[in-house]
Amino acid sequence: MEKHMEELNGALPFNASLSEEERANLRFLKATQGTPVTEFKDAKEVADWLNDPDED
């Protein structure tokens, strides 16, 4: 039975490194970790939040 090169040299059968897009996404997630999140139930809550002068 013929073995694949990956099986012979111990390499993973897929690319284990992250793409630039994946690295950028991880940097973004780390930078925004702990940021408060506001969840809205409907469009009125969004409009009220956007029109609230106390919100940044």
Q: What is the pLDDT of residue 8?
A: 66
Q: What is the pLDDT of residues 25-44, one digit of tens each?
A: 999 999 999 999 999 999 99
pLDDT at residue 2 in the model: 57
Residue 48 near residue 55 (C-beta atoms within 8 A):
no
Average pLDDT, whole number, for the chain? 87
Two tokens at 32? Answer: 């925004």
Domain ranges of the chain: 5-51
More confident residue, 2 or 35: 35
